[in-house]
């Protein structure tokens, strides 16, 4: 078993850190809101610390799952940051969805400290984190990945090294691009069924068994039909991710017309007050339009 620190106890990080403790690892946590760290320590029997640097002292692996590029820099850099407190040879595993640029920036900063840095964004949402069945896509050096993989498996269904530093983040962009189109297509199908006077549940029972079937259809169609959008990844976070995808596409020459369009549809959902609705709320936009 390893000494592990987990930085960030949001809806993803809290259960992920819990799986590490349940797997027998010695876990210390840090969260900007100390009360959340105290609650986690009380529930899972681990420790918490006041700063990232204090939390990572003597640790073998540091896992992070925070909000965005700036949040990740904040927990990594500076006198109170994780890199200041990590020992040479330790491995930092970043589960945040961030830009490829900040990943490579922190990979270099970690190397200067003798620390390995693996970008390892996840897919599977809050339910995947709670059930320990996340898909983890990684970028970085092979020895660091191979050292960290047995620890990551505490909350992963699949964990794969895709390539060098940044490859994990680029793969997560592929994931978000695919999801954006899928959710819009499902929203249009359900909206069309309703307008045509069909029972959406009957429709999905049939079409889900054919080529139209998907995770989104299997797990979200009922709540979409019922107008319930409190089931995971928020629209605000999806727009953050799609912004990263579109910015990266501008740089590498990729054409993402559907992604750009769906990003604007999510902007419309935000204008409806759906900032914290889950990503399946695209159907609400269609229904509101009549």
Tokens of 172: 């997560």
* Angle at alpha carbon of residue 124, lines to 15 and 6, rounded to 5°: 35
- pLDDT greater than 80 at residue 66: yes
Residue of 174, 187, 200 lying closest to 269 (CA atoms): 187
Span(s) in the chain for CATH 3.40.50.720: 3-163
Q: How does residue 231 score in pLDDT terms, banded at 50, 70 and 90? A: confident
Say how far residue 143 (Cα) sits from the centre of its chain: 24
Asked if the model's pLDDT at residue 290 lies above 80, the reply is: no
- The pLDDT of residue 237 is above 80: yes
Q: Map 192-249 to HEC letters.
A: HHHHCCCCHHHHHHHHCCCCCCCHHHHHHHHHHHHCCCCCCCEHHHHHHHHHHHHHHH
pTM, 2 dp: 0.94
Contact between 27 and 44 (Cβ < 8 Å): yes
Tens-place pLDDT, residues 159-184: 999 999 999 999 999 999 999 999 99
Find the mean pLDDT for residues 1-29: 97
Residue range 92-115: mean pLDDT, rounded? 98
Buried b / exposed e along 96-107 (16+ C-beta atoms within 10 A): bbbbbebbbbbb
Contact 40, 62 (CB under 8 A): no
**Can you give the pLDDT at residue 254?**
98
Above 80 in pLDDT, residue 223? yes
Please check the confidence at residue 68 and state whether its pLDDT lies above 80.
yes
Mean pLDDT of all residues in 74-94:
98
Cβ proximity of 92 and 117 under 8 Å: yes
pLDDT tens digits for range 23-40: 999 999 999 999 999 999
Residue 289 pLDDT class (50, 70, 90 cuts): confident
Tokens of 208: 């889900």
Residue with token string 């999801």: 179
- Would you please indicate which residues are annotated as catalytic (active-site) residues? 172
Q: Count CA within 13 A, CB hemisphere, residue 40.
A: 33
Query: What residues are paired with 116 via a beta bridge?
Result: 91
Q: Which CATH superfamily is domain 3-163 in?
A: NAD(P)-binding Rossmann-like Domain (3.40.50.720)
What percent of the chain has pLDDT above 70? 100
Give residue-wise pLDDT tens across range 152-164.
999 999 999 999 9
Which option is the CATH number for 170-288: 1.10.1040.10, 3.40.1170.60, 3.40.50.2300, 2.60.40.10?
Answer: 1.10.1040.10
**Which segments of the chain belong to CATH 1.10.1040.10?**
170-288
H helices within 86-232, ranges in order? 100-112, 125-131, 142-152, 167-195, 200-207, 215-226
Q: Identify the pLDDT of residue 13.
A: 98
Both tokens of 11, joined, read: 């809806």
Query: Residue 232 above 80 pLDDT?
Result: no
Coil, strand or helix at 43: helix
The H-or-E segment that residue 136 falls in is strand 134-139
- In whole numbers, what is the pLDDT of the chain averaged over residues? 97
Q: What is the pLDDT of residue 195?
A: 97
Helix (H, G, I), strand (E, B) or coil at 119: strand
């Amino acid at each position: 078993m390893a000494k592990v620190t987990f930085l960030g106890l949001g809806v993803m990080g809290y259960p992920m850190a819990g799986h590490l403790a349940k797997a027998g690892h010695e876990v210390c946590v840090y969260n900007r809101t100390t009360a959340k760290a105290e609650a986690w320590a009380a529930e899972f029997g681990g420790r918490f610390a006041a700063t990232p640097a204090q939390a990572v002292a003597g640790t073998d692996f540091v896992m992070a799952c925070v909000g965005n590029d700036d949040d990740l820099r904040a927990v990594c850099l500076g006198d109170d940051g994780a890199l200041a407190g990590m020992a040479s040879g330790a491995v930092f595993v970043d589960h945040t969805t961030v830009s490829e640029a900040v990943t490579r920036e922190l990979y270099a900063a970690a190397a200067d400290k003798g620390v390995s840095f693996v970008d390892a964004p996840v897919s599977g949402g809050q339910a995947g984190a709670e059930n320990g069945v996340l898909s983890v896509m990684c970028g970085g050096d092979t020895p660091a990945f191979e050292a960290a993989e047995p620890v990551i498996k505490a909350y992963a269904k699949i964990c794969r090294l895709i390539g060098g530093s940044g490859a994990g983040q680029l793969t997560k962009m592929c994931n978000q691009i695919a999801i954006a189109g899928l959710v819009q297509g499902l929203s249009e199908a359900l909206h069309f069924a309703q307008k045509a006077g069909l029972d959406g549940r009957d429709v999905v029972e049939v079409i889900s068994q054919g080529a139209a079937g998907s995770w989104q259809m299997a797990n979200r169609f009922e709540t979409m039909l019922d107008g319930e959008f409190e089931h995971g990844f928020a629209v605000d976070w999806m727009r953050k991710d799609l912004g990263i995808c579109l910015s990266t596409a501008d740089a590498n020459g990729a054409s993402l017309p559907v992604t750009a369009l769906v990003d604007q549809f999510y902007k419309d959902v935000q204008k409806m007050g759906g900032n914290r609705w889950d990503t399946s709320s695209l159907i609400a936009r269609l229904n509101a339009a009549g």
